[in-house]
Amino acid sequence: MRTQVGIIGAGPAGLLLAQMLHQRGIDSVVLEARSRDYVEGRIRAGLLEQGAVDTLTEAGVADRLHREGLVHHGLALRFAGREERIDLTGLTGGKVVTIYGQQEAVKDMIARRLADGLPLHFEAADVAVHDIASHRPRITWRQDGREHALDCDVIAGCDGFHGICREAIPPADLTIYDRIYPFAWLGILSRSRPMSEELIYARHARGFALATMRSTTVSRLYLQCAPEEDLSQWSDERIWVELATRLGARDGELEVGPILQKGVTAMRSFVAEPMRHGRLFLAGDAAHIVPPTGAKGMNLAIADVRVLVRALEAFFAGRGEALMDAYSATCLDRVWKVQRFSWWMTQLLHRYDGEDAFEERVRMAELDYLAGSVAARTTLAENYVGLPYMD
Ligand code: FAD
Ligand code: DHB
């Protein structure tokens, strides 16, 4: 079998890449380790930057996103008994963010690819890449008890943080930047009215909390917890009490409902440089992880894909490899700015065990400064809605 671009991973990065290449007449095959049900049911990100929505729209996979997505013009910060609104739209010349579950975007892209009759293989086992430094890289995998091989011009490693593509690059050729935070998030999905029309990010002496949503009847709520938190210690009642305390919920503000899903997410900042080795290009979580506080992971994956599509379009049109050569540096420019923002939001809003009184007062002063300074709020807003694309 042969194709132009072999894509490993059917998350947001791999599926969007496949669709954008298809729009440009470039063939690809997508290989996914998990089942369709598993990929479509995985509950993760929910917040799309303005540019990410525009990108999905141009890719022709945003009809349902425009019907069902919830457009947000601002967010609230709660701390020290106060609430301060950040007017995202007013501070950014009219930009918005949109709440739409990542798994919904994934479902839309899978449906589109299958309806178009294009290759997307689920439950591909033992996926491996070969000869990545050559002009004929190859992918092998097992499926239905048979061995398969795919000759490619280029391989796109869109296989997430735990995938095999980054590992296929010789360690001596990669520089890794890694920071693990001393806390995690306990996230729930609940059948209950969202606490407010806009997201609430809360800093509390007991730790961070975030109230977000998936629809007008389904809430998504997060609590800072320990990295090795034992979920069995968190009864539904304990979760609701803790959420109400940290979010500073007023009477009737936080509706309690059945919890549909519970999970713990580790917090990490990670970058692998460069994002390319020979004919293997890494995109999305395969190359970098941000802590979720700034809501940037899926958005960054989409930004990488835009850059990769332009590079591959030029290459297959016979316009040479200059954009492919620039791919890693172009992506990393944004990646590091987004890393900085995600780290900053994280350290501003979380409780660090053992933090001394000086650090605590500095953090409070920073929140107070944000509340009082248009310049500081503008900095937050322009990063939150998404920096302009450089491609
Ligand atoms: P993934 O979604 O991880 O997709 C990789 C795919 O590759 C998977 O389907 C995997 O099964 C497959 N795969 C892995 N190994 C192999 C293999 N060997 N062979 C074949 N396939 C393989 N981001 C935001 O932008 N906004 C948010 O609000 C936000 N909130 C988040 C909240 C939580 C709780 C979590 C966990 C994450 C959040 N993120 C958020 C991050 C976001 O979910 C990720 O950054 C995003 O999924 C990255 O997409 P991806 O396609 O690069 O990787
Ligand atoms: C969501 C997740 C985030 O990490 C965030 O900062 C905002 C929203 C969400 O799941 O909706």
Distance 44 CA to ligand 2 centre (A): 8
106 Cβ closer than 6 Å to some ligand 1 atom: no
Distance 214 CA to ligand 2 centre (A): 10
| Residue from 43, 44, 75, 222 whose mutation best tests the ligand 1 pocket (most atoms within 8 A of CB) | 44
292 falls within a domain: yes
pTM: 0.97
Rg (CA), the chain: 21
Kindly name the residue from 100, 181, 327, 384 that is annotated as catalytic: 384
The CATH code of the domain that includes 60 is 3.50.50.60
102 falls within a domain: yes
The total domain count for the chain is 1
Flag whether the ipTM exceeds 0.85: yes
pLDDT digits (tens, 9 = 90+) for 301-310: 999 999 999 9
Q: For residue 384, indicate whether it is catalytic.
A: yes
Distance 365 CA to ligand 1 centre (A): 35
- pLDDT > 70 fraction of the chain, expressed in percent and rounded: 100
Output the pLDDT for position 170.
97
Kindly name the residue from 72, 95, 204, 350 that is annotated as catalytic: 72
The model's confidence at residue 45, banded by pLDDT at 50, 70 and 90, is confident
45 Cβ closer than 6 Å to some ligand 1 atom: yes
- Checking if the pLDDT of 127 tops 90, the result is yes
Q: For residue 296, indicate whether it is catalytic.
A: yes
74 Cβ closer than 6 Å to some ligand 2 atom: no
233 falls within a domain: no
pLDDT digits (tens, 9 = 90+) for 153-187: 999 999 999 999 999 999 999 999 999 999 999 99
Distance 62 CA to ligand 2 centre (A): 20
Distance 47 CA to ligand 2 centre (A): 6
Q: Which ligand is nearest to the CA of 30?
A: 1
211 Cβ closer than 6 Å to some ligand 2 atom: no
Closest-lying ligand 1 atom to the alpha carbon of residue 39: 9
49 Cβ closer than 6 Å to some ligand 1 atom: no
205 falls within a domain: no
Q: For residue 201, indicate whether it is catalytic.
A: yes
138 falls within a domain: yes
- Checking if the pLDDT of 330 tops 90, the result is yes
Closest-lying ligand 1 atom to the alpha carbon of residue 164: 18
Closest-lying ligand 2 atom to the alpha carbon of residue 294: 6
310 falls within a domain: yes
Distance 213 CA to ligand 2 centre (A): 8
End-to-end CA distance of the chain: 32
20 falls within a domain: yes
Give the mean pLDDT of 17-44: 97
Give the chain's largest Cα–Cα span.
64
Q: Which ligand is nearest to the CA of 166?
A: 1
| For ligand 2, atom 11: residue with the closest CA | 46
pLDDT digits (tens, 9 = 90+) for 334-362: 999 999 999 999 999 999 999 899 999 99
317 falls within a domain: yes
Q: What is the 3-state secondary structure (H, E, C) of the chain?
A: CECCEEEECCCHHHHHHHHHHHHCCCCEEEECCCCHHHHHHCCCCCEECHHHHHHHHHCCCCHHHHHHCEEECCEEEEECCEEEEECHHHHCCCCCEEECCHHHHHHHHHHHHHHCCCCEECCCEEEEEECCCCCCCEEEEEECCEEEEEECCEEEECCCCCCCCHHHCCHHHCEEEEEEEEEEEEEEEECCCCCCCCEEEEECCCCCEEEEECCCCCEEEEEEECCCCCHHHCCHHHHHHHHHHHHCCCCCCCCCCCEEEEEEEEEEEEEEECCEECCEEECHHHCEECCHHHCCHHHHHHHHHHHHHHHHHHHHCCCCCHHHHHHHHHHHHHHHHHHHHHHHHHHHHCCCCCCCHHHHHHHHHHHHHHHHCHHHHHHHHHHHCCCCCCC
Can you give the residue range of the structural domain that contains 22?
5-73+96-178+268-353
Contacts of 31 (CB under 8 A, 6+ apart): 6, 7, 8, 9, 10, 121, 124, 127, 139, 141, 150
44 Cβ closer than 6 Å to some ligand 1 atom: yes
The model's confidence at residue 111, banded by pLDDT at 50, 70 and 90, is very high
Closest-lying ligand 2 atom to the alpha carbon of residue 295: 6
What token pair was written down for 3?
A: 């194709």
- Checking if the pLDDT of 298 tops 90, the result is yes
Closest-lying ligand 2 atom to the alpha carbon of residue 187: 10
159 Cβ closer than 6 Å to some ligand 1 atom: yes
Give the mean pLDDT of 106-134: 98
Give the mean pLDDT of 364-376: 97
Distance 256 CA to ligand 1 centre (A): 29
